[in-house]
Amino acid sequence: MSSTFHQRYRANRCTDGDPSTLCASDRERHAWLSIDVGSGSRVGVVSVLNRADSAVYMSWLSPFEIWVGRSAGDTTSANAVRCGDVQYVPSAAGPFTVDCRGAVGSHVTLRLAGDNRRYLTIAELLAYRAT
């Protein structure tokens, strides 16, 4: 699920296991992409694989935040937990890994930070359970 998405680049393309496919939102402030990890999951780390085709497009990812919450897009409720700080990453494919330290929820959300309107367009969003 995502805030909005481009028809050609649906949100589920970022969870298909194929880094050659991309998902993309419309151009907006705070675009987000959520994956369902199952109710009550303890999230260890989240990995973001950026697109790898152009430095300009790769730069759209930074800055971003990772959240664990109880619903898709949950970044503001009392139950939402931000994993680490706002992430500033280079214009590169990554992967970029964020430690969620066992935060409990049913959804992991990648949210673009900052006030600029931009596209959220990545190759993969992966969440790993805490051990």
pLDDT at 3: 75
Output the CATH code of domain 7-129. Answer: 2.60.120.260
Which strands form 32-50's sheet, in the order they lie side by side? 23-24, 121-129, 32-50, 96-112, 64-69, 81-87
Structure tokens at 75: 């970044």
pLDDT at 4: 73
Buried residues in 70-96 as b, exposed as e (16+ CB within 10 A)? eebbbbeeeebbbbeeebeeeeebbeb
Closest Cα to residue 123, out of 28, 32, 40, 9?
9
Closest Cα to residue 95, out of 110, 116, 80, 115?
110
In the chain, domain spans: 7-129
Q: What is the residue-averaged pLDDT of the chain?
A: 94
Which residue, chain included where needed, has tokens 């929820």?
105
pTM of the model: 0.94
pLDDT tens digits for 84-129? 999 999 999 999 999 999 999 999 999 999 999 999 999 999 999 9
